Amino acid sequence: MSIYREYDIRGIYEKELNEQSVVRIGFALASKIDGEYVSVGYDARSHSPILFEYLVHGLNAGGKKVLDMGMVPTPVNYFTNYQEWDGVTPSASIMITGSHNPSEYNGFKITIDKAPFFSDDIYALGDECSKMEFPAKVGREVTKIDAVSRYVDFLVSEFQHLKAMDTKIVYDCGNGVAGIVTEDIFSRLELKTKGLYIEPDGEFPNHHPDPSEEKNLEDVKKLLASDGDIAFAYDGDADRIAVLTHKNNIKGDMMALLYSMKMDKPTVVGEVKCSQVMYDELRRRGCKAVMYKTGHSNLKVKMKEIDADLACEVSGHVFFKNRYFGYDDAIYATLRMLELVYDGIDLDAELEKLPKVFSTEEIKVETSEEEKFKIIDAIKVLLKNPPLSFPKIKDIIEVDGVRINFENGWGLVRASNTTPVLVTRFESTSQQEALVYEKAINDLILDAQKTLLINN
């Protein structure tokens, strides 16, 4: 059951994701899909085509026909849900990807009726798979579709106004699948580009494909310093982006502020880890800013619920409903950022105007799957009567874990939905106060752990 996660299905090839488990997953998913066709694509990992065949076995046995898009970025997979293919519109899509995880990992990101299939639905699917008989093989029903060309044509058409813009662009595909589409898009738009690690290679020989980690950006930073005006980096399946200038590594929340400048008072959804500067600045501009749970599936669902224009995660997931379809797409986000530059917006100057705050990166506190949510519950109880030394609390937000607003900043502690850790983050107008908030909340975590030990 450990492969069935909050946002997707993920595990180690052969050990956890093998013929026995994946065929069952395909067969169980078939019963959740009303229509006849499912579009399926996969990332650059060597075992992805093998998992594709296992999944086809299960889907076909469950009465579904497969539209095979081959190796694609995750956004191309999502894109197929909004297109007709020889008179057929898929009722669901499945992306076979380990995202930014090490090469031995793989998994499935599932969309049904243009909405993410996640959380309790995934846990119930896992329970169903654990009890079912292994499905017999039936005739293979797979139709090839050229999703990459359709996607590239769409983006090139949407961004014709950027053609031959003067900006020098450098980028790092990290040997993930972004390079499958970037080369054609950049070439057809006649952009001045230099790329690193473009060729897909599921062993990721140059660096780990996670642009939220500074160490993975070293090579593209060097290229930017010597030969670029702006830099982009992508994760393994190209649904997360890093944006770099000569002065800034622009996180997802600050990207949202920049993107929103060219929208008419948009509604923007952010996660609980986003800077308060983002929420305050959006509201100052007359926009609607909504704080919600972390996780790409959660944000897509919330966007649809409130008809939002834009959503973001600090880690680089950016979701556009404004002029797009409402899912996270690092390639599309690249072109929207270039559009800002084309329109004369000085990214660094705009960021310089914002209030100065000191923010930590995500700090992870190891715990166990059994205890992480119990610790959060214990912290909520302790906060009803906090220690006398605890910083003055303005208010507490419990939309995802506990975000405590103080007089000059905030602190967050939440349970990760994918790993056995607590995630903390702190922000203040003063670096010293940010450290005070960090110590106060770390002490609270220790007190919560002691409470659990006593109660057990």
H-assigned helices in 31-171: 48-61, 74-79, 120-131, 147-158
CA dihedral 288, 291, 294, 298 (to 10 degrees): -60
Query: What is the CA 28 to chain-centroid distance, rounded?
Result: 25
Three-state secondary structure string covering 184-199: HHHHHCCCEEEEECCC
Active site residue 285: no
CA–CA gap between residue 446 and residue 387 (Å, rounded): 13
The CA-to-CA distance between both ends of the chain, in Å, stands at: 25
Q: Where are the beta strands (DSSP E) in 203-264?
A: 230-234, 241-244, 249-250
5, 10, 24, 240: the active-site residue: 10
Q: Pick from 317, 297, 356: which is nearest to 10 by CA?
A: 297
Active-site residue, 161 included: no
DSSP symbol at 103: T
8 A C-beta contact, residue 317 and residue 240: yes
To the query of whether residue 99 is one of the catalytic residues in this protein, the response is yes
Q: Is residue 454 packed enough to be buried (19+ CB in 10 Å), middle (13-18) or exposed (0-12)?
A: exposed
From residue 150, give the alpha-carbon distance in Å to each of 31, 80, 84, 422, 454.
29, 9, 11, 41, 60
Q: Burial letters for 317-331: b for 16+ Cβ neighbours within 10 Å, e otherwise?
A: bbbbbbebebbbbbb
Characterize the bridge pairing of strands 37-42 and 92-96. parallel
Whether the Cβ atoms of residue 344 and residue 325 lie closer than 8 Å to each other: no
8 A C-beta contact, residue 197 and residue 173: yes
Of the residues 99, 212, 275, 359, only one is catalytic, namely 99
φ/ψ (deg, to 5) at 234:
-125, 155
Which is catalytic among the residues 57, 317, 336, 425? 317
The amino acid at residue 133 is: E
CB 438 within 8 A of CB 426: yes
CA distances from 312 to 46, 177, 278, 348, 443 (A): 31, 22, 11, 19, 30
Q: Cα 165 from chain centroid?
A: 29
Contacts of 368 (CB under 8 A, 6+ apart): 420
State the CB neighbour count (10 A cutoff) for residue 403: 21
Residues labelled catalytic: 10, 99, 317
